[in-house]
């Protein structure tokens, strides 16, 4: 076997087959209940807070609740009871009350009748708080009070507790905006990080230069007037934080909105990027436009949303697609890391026309076990690698419980974790607003809202922050002024993170990141082509970052679907990598090469379906004694082909010889799949001609013999 064959076998072993995501998922290990649920079990019925009047000391609180019976049996004698605990003095106390509070003070109760299976009912509960009222909660001092509403009743004659709703309300006194104590010389500095992200469902397999294809219109709905993303911007822009706030932007979202504004299509699949030439008759009944799906309807809304985004006073970064930065670091790929935490700065400046306000990047995990090229924003109860600024971990964990996708943060105490969605979104939004008031008692507060947040909680937080800043209880500090310091201890979270990526998932991404680098390396940039090899492959890396997104993964109910979506995306990304790599190929000949002389050339076609040229050389495997004389470098044009000529020195005593050929990089990395050809040698030709001559002579002699015999018979006749 030749040295070229050995190189080829090695290349095939390490680089030819694109790794495919395995069917195995980390559900069983990663979704164990003790990682997610430390307290509070599920409810049988549903009790949801819809609205509440402003909470003021001594006044009656009016609360609208909805009860729903999702079971198959009726319930009777329903009763809603209000209870409270003492005012909390810290966000840690607040979380303890929500997770396992006793709520020893009882207030008013209200009968709610019976509910048939599937039935719902809205009820209004009036909760007295004045000391002299009947059935009062007796709230005499301002503060943040944990409230509990219980739903009890009977089923089949047996008494039962069916549901609970917990929230924290900030009860304010007669002086609505108290001024700070004149004797208190300490500063209560306040900063707020306001993340904005969304799931960007680009069809997997995107490459540079292609028009945007989305799997659905869900992103367009969020960007439209009144949509989630539109409301989030309104909530920020309509409140004055006196320079203390900063919007953390997901560059994947900003990039997608920018591409949407130029037009996009919606489709479940993606047409081939590396197409081979199509015969005219094959194109009669097909349309390239139909392969891309139907035109999207959100271009104008995306453009309007970007214009509104330009009004934001402070901008900072999230990782691309809200990717888990520790998972990215474990992959250990330089270009993937660049796309995750560095490329976004260029994207934001290109689209919005202004640079970032701070180099800080806000990862969803809130922790950093591995150093990144940029400083990160991490929880203050963790240690970190590299450089970072910190936020209030307890407040961050409490704020993360809000919204339609409540997050279980890895830096939170597992004993205080539970299914946060047991409490309604409105109840958790009110808790978020009250938590800002609780945190304002600290010397300094850095409030970080969850990377995925909903408008109701965001507005409650912004209203509370603006009120406290206006009153002077808080002193604004720009996020750009937060101290950035190197880590000193053992980096990582103090508690287990239930959403952490597993080794098998990291391995899949590592393999595909390496394969993407190899695909990039086989192409060469061309001054006549605007597309570069890096820009062509960058979307493939961003697919990998989307597979590492923490947006749904860190939510108890979003975790299973997130794992499945990541697995599916990796499979489709692998298919595209395979297709792109296979578009650079040698076209196998349809028959045997026959050489009339030793100098006769062998001709073979090399084709390239990529949008950039490929520089390669022809590698081969041949029996001992055989040598191919090939060009040092073959330049295959973009989206084109070239005929390659070569000569061969083959043994003269062999009739036929089989050769294996493939395209390789100058450094001997495999490019194309090998093909086999058969060469008819000169000896084989002579042998064939000799046999043919003998056969022809035999036929002639036989014919002469028969002719002579016929003449002899005729003469005797």
pLDDT band at 489 (very low <50, low <70, confident <90, very high): confident
pLDDT tens, residue by residue, 189-230: 999 999 999 999 999 999 999 999 999 999 999 999 999 999
Q: Among 402, 414, 297, 318, which Cα is nearest to 361's?
A: 318
Question: What average pLDDT does this structure show over 171-176?
Answer: 79
Residue range(s) occupied by CATH 3.20.110 in the chain: 190-274+292-520+532-548
Determine phi and psi for 609, rounding to 5 degrees: -95, 5
Question: What average pLDDT does this structure show over 408-435?
Answer: 96
> Domain 37-171, CATH 2.60.40.10 — does that match?
yes
Per-residue model confidence (pLDDT) at position 626:
83
pLDDT band at 708 (very low <50, low <70, confident <90, very high): low
Pick the more confident residue, 273 or 84: 84
Rounded Cα gap, residues 332 and 218, in angstroms: 33
Question: What average pLDDT does this structure show over 233-240?
Answer: 98
Q: Which two tokens stand for residue 612?
A: 């950039």
Phi-psi region for residue 309, left (φ > 0), alpha (ψ -120 to 50) or beta? alpha
Per-residue model confidence (pLDDT) at position 28:
39
Question: What average pLDDT does this structure show over 596-616?
Answer: 87
pLDDT of 715 higher than 70: no
Question: What average pLDDT does this structure show over 238-267?
Answer: 98
Per-residue model confidence (pLDDT) at position 179:
54
Looking at the DSSP assignment, which residues form a beta bridge with residue 150? 81, 164
Rounded Cα gap, residues 128 and 400, in angstroms: 31
Per-residue model confidence (pLDDT) at position 8:
40
Out of 272-276, 348-352, 645-649, least confident range:
272-276
Rounded Cα gap, residues 112 and 106, in angstroms: 18
Highest mean pLDDT among 179-183, 288-292, 357-361, 602-606: 357-361
pLDDT band at 522 (very low <50, low <70, confident <90, very high): very high
Question: What average pLDDT does this structure show over 377-394?
Answer: 97
Question: What average pLDDT does this structure show over 653-660?
Answer: 81
pLDDT of 418 higher than 90: yes
Determine phi and psi for 474, rounding to 5 degrees: -120, 145
544: helix, coil or strand?
Answer: helix
In this structure, the strands spanning 656-664 and 602-608 are unpaired
Question: What average pLDDT does this structure show over 386-409?
Answer: 96
319: helix, coil or strand?
Answer: coil
CB atoms within 10 A of CB 221: 16
In this structure, the strands spanning 264-266 and 294-295 are antiparallel
213: helix, coil or strand?
Answer: strand
Rounded Cα gap, residues 36 and 32, in angstroms: 7
User: Maximum distance among all alpha carbons in the chain?
Assistant: 154
Which pairs with CB-CB distance under 8 Å and at least 24 residues apart come from 626-635?
626/650, 626/651, 626/657, 626/659, 628/602, 628/659, 628/661, 633/666, 634/606, 634/663
pLDDT of 234 higher than 70: yes
Per-residue model confidence (pLDDT) at position 175:
64
Per-residue model confidence (pLDDT) at position 276:
55
Per-residue model confidence (pLDDT) at position 23:
38
Rounded Cα gap, residues 484 and 383, in angstroms: 13
Rounded Cα gap, residues 576 and 206, in angstroms: 8
Residue range(s) occupied by CATH 2.60.40.10 in the chain: 37-171, 588-682
Q: Among 289, 219, 291, which Cα is nearest to 256's?
A: 219
Question: What average pLDDT does this structure show over 24-38?
Answer: 56
pLDDT band at 709 (very low <50, low <70, confident <90, very high): low
Per-residue model confidence (pLDDT) at position 597:
65
pLDDT of 278 higher than 70: no
- Kindly give, in sequence order, each residue whose CB lies less than 8 Å from that of residue 480, ignoring residues fewer than 6 positions away: 246, 314, 357, 358
pLDDT of 19 higher than 90: no
pLDDT of 476 higher than 80: yes
Burial of 141 (0-12, 13-18, 19+ CB in 10 A): exposed
Q: How is domain 190-274+292-520+532-548 classified at the architecture level of CATH?
A: Alpha-Beta Barrel (3.20)
Cα distances (Å, whole numbers) of residue 156 to 111, 159, 649: 18, 9, 94
Mean pLDDT estimate for the chain: 88
> Domain 588-682, CATH 1.20.1440.120 — does that match?
no
Do 361 and 316 form a contact (C-beta atoms < 8 A)?
Answer: yes
Beta strands in 406-534 (DSSP E): 444-448, 475-476, 485-486
pLDDT tens, residue by residue, 662-707: 999 887 888 999 998 888 765 444 444 444 445 555 565 555 556 5
Question: What average pLDDT does this structure show over 264-276?
Answer: 84
640: helix, coil or strand?
Answer: strand
pLDDT tens, residue by residue, 65-93: 999 999 999 999 999 999 999 999 999 99
Per-residue model confidence (pLDDT) at position 273:
76
Out of 131-135, 609-613, 667-671, least confident range:
667-671
Q: What angle do CA 195, 197, 199 make, to 5 degrees?
A: 155
CB atoms within 10 A of CB 96: 18
pLDDT tens, residue by residue, 294-353: 999 999 999 999 999 999 999 999 999 999 999 999 999 999 999 999 999 999 999 999
């Amino acid at each position: 076997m030749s040295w070229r064959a050995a190189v080829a076998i090695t290349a095939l072993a390490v680089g030819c087959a694109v790794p495919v995501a395995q069917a195995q998922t980390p559900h069983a290990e990663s979704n164990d209940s003790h990682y997610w649920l430390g307290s509070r079990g599920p409810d049988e019925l549903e009790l949801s807070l819809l609205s509440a009047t402003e909470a003021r000391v001594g006044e009656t609180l009016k609360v609208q609740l909805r009860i729903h019976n999702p079971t198959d049996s009726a319930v009777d004698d329903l009763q809603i009871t209000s209870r409270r605990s003492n005012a909390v003095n810290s966000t840690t106390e607040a979380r303890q009350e929500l997770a396992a509070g006793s709520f020893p003070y009882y207030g008013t109760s209200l009968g709610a009748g019976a509910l048939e299976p599937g039935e719902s009912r809205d009820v209004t509960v009036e909760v007295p708080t004045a000391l002299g009222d009947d059935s009062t909660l007796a709230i005499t001092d301002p503060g943040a009070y944990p409230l509990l509403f219980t739903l009890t009743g009977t089923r089949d004659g047996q008494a039962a507790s069916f549901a609970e709703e917990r929230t924290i309300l900030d009860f304010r006194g007669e002086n609505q905006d108290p001024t700070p104590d004149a004797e208190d010389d300490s500063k209560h500095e306040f900063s707020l990080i306001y993340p904005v992200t969304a799931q960007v469902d680009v069809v997997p397999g995107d490459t540079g230069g292609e028009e945007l294809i989305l799997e659905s219109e869900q992103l367009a709905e969020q960007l439209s007037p009144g949509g989630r993303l539109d409301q989030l911007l309104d909530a920020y822009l309509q409140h004055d934080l006196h320079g203390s706030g900063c919007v953390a932007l997901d560059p994947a979202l900003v990039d997608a909105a920018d591409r949407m504004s130029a037009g996009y299509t919606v489709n479940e699949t993606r047409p081939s990027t590396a197409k081979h030439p199509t015969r005219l008759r094959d194109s009669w009944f097909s349309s390239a436009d139909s392969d891309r799906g139907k035109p999207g309807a959100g271009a104008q809304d995306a453009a309007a949303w970007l214009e509104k985004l330009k009004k934001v006073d402070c901008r900072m970064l999230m990782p691309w697609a809200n990717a888990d930065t520790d998972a990215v670091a474990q992959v250990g790929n330089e270009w993937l890391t660049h796309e995750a935490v560095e490329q976004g700065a260029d994207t934001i400046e290109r689209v919005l026309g202004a640079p970032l306000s701070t180099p800080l990047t806000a990862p969803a995990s809130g922790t950093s076990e591995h150093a990144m090229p940029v400083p990160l924003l991490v929880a203050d109860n963790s240690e970190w690698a590299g450089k970072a600024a910190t936020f209030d971990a307890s407040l961050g964990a409490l704020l993360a419980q809000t919204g339609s996708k409540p997050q279980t943060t890895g830096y939170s105490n597992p004993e205080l974790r539970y299914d946060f969605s047991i409490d309604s979104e409105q109840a958790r939004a009110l808790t978020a607003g009250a938590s800002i008031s609780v945190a304002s008692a600290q010397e300094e507060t850095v409030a970080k809202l969850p990377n995925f947040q909903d408008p109701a909680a965001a507005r409650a937080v912004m209203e509370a922050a603006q009120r406290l800043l206006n009153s002077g209880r808080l002193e604004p500090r720009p996020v750009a002024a937060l101290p950035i310091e190197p880590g000193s201890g053992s980096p990582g979270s103090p508690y287990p993170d239930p959403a952490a990526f597993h080794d098998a998932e990291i391995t899949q991404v590592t393999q595909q990141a390496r394969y993407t680098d190899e695909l990039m390396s086989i192409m060469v940039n061309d001054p006549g082509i605007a597309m570069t090899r890096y820009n062509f492959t960058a979307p493939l890396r961003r697919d990998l970052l989307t597979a590492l997104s923490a947006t749904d993964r860190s939510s108890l109910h979003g975790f299973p679907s997130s794992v499945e979506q990541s697995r599916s995306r990796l499979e489709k990304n692998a298919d595209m990598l395979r297709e792109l790599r296979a578009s650079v190929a040698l076209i196998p000949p349809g028959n045997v090469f026959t050489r009339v002389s030793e100098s006769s050339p062998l001709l073979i076609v090399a084709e390239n379906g990529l949008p950039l040229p490929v520089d390669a050389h022809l590698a081969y495997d041949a029996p001992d004694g055989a040598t191919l004389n090939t060009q040092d470098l073959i330049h295959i044009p973009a989206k084109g082909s070239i005929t390659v000529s070569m000569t061969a020195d083959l043994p003269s005593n062999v009739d036929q010889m089989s050769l294996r050929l493939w395209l390789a990089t100058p450094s001997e990395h495999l490019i194309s799949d090998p093909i086999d050809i058969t060469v008819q040698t000169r000896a084989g030709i002579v042998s064939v001609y000799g046999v043919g001559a003998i056969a022809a002579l035999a036929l002639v002699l036989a014919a002469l013999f028969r002719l002579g015999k016929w003449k002899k018979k005729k003469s005797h006749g």
